[in-house]
Structure 1
């Protein structure tokens, strides 16, 4: 009698499952039907808080600023939660933030990269943001004191500690020396 092995089917998680995740201090995203925790720690949180404060000081009434708790529905069905993000109000329903996930990527997605994140995952994330409507993606590398500023999936500007990061058209009053983001 032949032996048959069957593979256990993995449950495909939904947006509803993501919404029901506990408020346990972890950051979750829905990627390919799987719930993933995104590694964060105290240093990560401190950097995120600092960038949000700086973005808030430079934002105009024409944009909404979000923290890492907001989910954005990507074209491929994934739900991403950048560490900080800016969305033009004209892209929001009636100019108001929805109660649920935001449809499409933010105009600016900011990610503070942890040492455990792989390059392939980061590039996939950048591509998803642009495919879903982002205008810019900033990857902040605390260990290197660098910012990778993407203005298109393959258009990259690498900023070092003494360089100045500006907010471009979205945030014309935003500018900071890169090293200050990591102090």
Structure 2
């Protein structure tokens, strides 16, 4: 008998065999995560934020915005489908015909009951490890957005905006971009 136990970690090759069933399938550290399709509020927030980002980024020619379902291959054992992502023009070589190969500059996850813990803990650590420069956690229930920004090799809370405070969403990654949260959450 071999002294080494057989690895049960899944890889991108296994991931490609998952069914196209309307659910979101992801690999984190070789473990399979599956969540149901998002609810209406989640999709409205996602669409509004994606449209605002896409309009600004395309006009300024800053890079590319992509939305789920879309694969981000961080490694052979880490494949995620963030709600939204931005890749700067300078780093556009990581975009392939099939997916993104590497860490986007900005990842946006929109919380739901089914994804809250995974988004706030598991994915936060994963994105930090792979060097995603900025990570936004959007909470449609509380109508807030939390921004985490890499400082060295760790995330630091950069900002927290709320609809109630009539805050404007901004980021140094997108100079001049400013979006009233009321436009996302109303």
TM-score by length of 1: 0.81
For the 8 Å contact 2:53–2:65, the answer to whether it is kept is: yes
2:175 counterpart SS class:
strand
CA–CA distance in 1 between the matches of 2:158 and 2:90?
A: 26
Q: Tell me the equivalent position of 1:175.
A: 178
Alignment root-mean-square deviation, CA: 2.3
> How far 1:28 sits from its partner (Å)?
1.4
Alignment of 1:130-169 (within 5 A): 130-152=128-150, 153-161=155-163, 162-166=166-170, 168-169=171-172
CA–CA distance in 2 between the matches of 1:14 and 1:77?
A: 5
> How far 1:11 sits from its partner (Å)?
4.7
Structure 1 unmatched ranges of 5 or more: 1-8
Q: Tell me the equivalent position of 2:34.
A: 37
1:104-125 CA deviation, whole Å, 9 max, x = no partner?
2210100100123344652331
CA–CA distance in 2 between the matches of 1:29 and 1:42?
A: 21
For the 8 Å contact 2:148–2:157, the answer to whether it is kept is: yes
Larger CA deviation: 68-77 vs 84-93: 68-77
Q: Tell me the equivalent position of 1:6.
A: none
> How far 1:80 sits from its partner (Å)?
1.6
For the 8 Å contact 1:74–1:128, the answer to whether it is kept is: no
For the 8 Å contact 1:75–1:131, the answer to whether it is kept is: no
Say which one has the larger Rg. Answer: 1
CA–CA distance in 2 between the matches of 1:111 and 1:51?
A: 11
> How far 1:135 sits from its partner (Å)?
1.4
Out of 105, 108, 113, the position equivalent to 1:107 is 105
> How far 1:98 sits from its partner (Å)?
0.4
Structure 2 unmatched ranges of 5 or more: 1-5
Out of 35, 41, 49, the position equivalent to 2:47 is 49
2:85 counterpart SS class:
strand
> How far 1:61 sits from its partner (Å)?
2.4
1:124 counterpart SS class:
helix
Quick check: 1:81 aligned with 2:77? no
TM-score by length of 2: 0.80
